[in-house]
């Protein structure tokens, strides 16, 4: 059965909730397409408005600037990942198999079968790989963090750290390892495509390579 996905994103990110109108949803949808195609640096509200046949002023009614729009997209993604983790780990028997499944989710394209959405999941996954660090590597990060904008990301890290502790209760750095796994999955996927000499992919499918590498890193560390 098909079902539609919708997540409540932190209201401090936007001026007007894009989920509340069809126009708002279209702004996010077209922004994902353009950021994937152009890159975040080249993406502008002017270009987005031109593609949509609207005005920049219309987009500013929803988002203060393009960084806030990126934050919205990433929050939606991390909320979706949290949903996937809960849904797909429900019937797995032990912490090891659950950690293996999380690594698969982090390193492969988002499953098309897990809920219907207007957003291009392939583009969304690639934006997270290439652009997600730009959400927090900014001078305003402390102020942004005070508004709990990074909560969905922290919640996912927390869930992974709980599984790490369940697998090896004696391991002293579960939160650091969980965030390392997530960030390394992004970096190694990016490197294996664009800077392969920074990896050991050697022409292997980059998703498979990063999955194997992270599994090796995680379980050797925990043992």
Percent of the chain with pLDDT over 90: 70
Residue 7 has pLDDT above 80, yes or no: no
Q: pLDDT of 158-183, one tens digit each? A: 999 999 999 999 999 999 999 999 99
Residue 114 has pLDDT above 80, yes or no: no
- Phi then psi for residue 116, to 5 deg, are -95, 140
Q: pLDDT of 45-67, one tens digit each? A: 999 999 999 999 999 999 999 99
Instruction: Output the CA–CA distances (angstroms, integers) from residue 218 to 65, 129, 132, 178, 184, in the order listed.
Output: 38, 19, 22, 9, 11
Residue 3's pLDDT is 47
- Give the ranges where 39-173 is alpha helix by DSSP (H): 45-52, 56-60, 66-89, 95-107, 121-131, 141-146, 151-167
Residue 2's pLDDT is 47
Q: What's the mean pLDDT in 200-213?
A: 89
DSSP string, 98-114: HHHHHHHHHHSPPPTTS
- What are the boundaries of each domain within the chain? 74-222
Mean pLDDT (the chain) is 91
The C-alpha atoms of residue 106 and residue 184 are separated, in whole angstroms, by 10
The C-alpha atoms of residue 165 and residue 95 are separated, in whole angstroms, by 9
Residue 101 has pLDDT above 70, yes or no: yes
> Which DSSP category does 67 fall into?
H
More confident residue, 116 or 13: 13
- Phi then psi for residue 4, to 5 deg, are -95, 140
Q: What is the pTM of this model?
A: 0.90
Determine contact, residues 189/115, Cβ cutoff 8 Å. Answer: no
Residue 186's pLDDT is 94
Residue 113's pLDDT is 58
Does domain 74-222 fall under CATH 3.40.50? My reply is: no
């Amino acid at each position: 059965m098909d079902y539609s996905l919708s997540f409540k994103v932190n209201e401090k990110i936007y001026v007007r909730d894009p989920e509340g109108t069809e126009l708002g949803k279209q702004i996010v949808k077209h922004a994902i397409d353009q950021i994937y195609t152009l890159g975040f640096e080249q993406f502008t509200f002017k270009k987005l408005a031109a593609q949509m046949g609207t005005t920049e002023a219309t987009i500013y009614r929803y988002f203060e600037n393009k960084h806030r729009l990126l934050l919205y997209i990433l929050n939606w993604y991390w909320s979706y990942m949290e949903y996937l983790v809960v849904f797909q780990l429900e019937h797995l028997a032990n912490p090891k198999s659950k950690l293996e499944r999380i690594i698969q989710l982090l390193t492969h394209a988002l499953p098309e079968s897990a809920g219907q959405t207007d957003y291009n999941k392939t583009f969304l996954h690639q934006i997270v790989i290439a652009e997600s660090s730009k959400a927090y590597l900014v001078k305003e990060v402390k102020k942004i963090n005070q508004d709990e904008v990074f909560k969905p990301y922290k919640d996912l890290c927390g869930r992974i750290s709980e599984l790490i502790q369940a697998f090896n209760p004696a391991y002293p750095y579960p939160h650091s390892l969980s965030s390392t796994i997530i960030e390394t999955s992004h970096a190694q996927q990016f490197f294996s495509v664009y800077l392969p000499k920074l990896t050991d992919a050697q022409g292997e499918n980059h998703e498979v390579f990063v999955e194997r590498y992270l599994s090796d890193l995680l379980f050797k560390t925990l043992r």
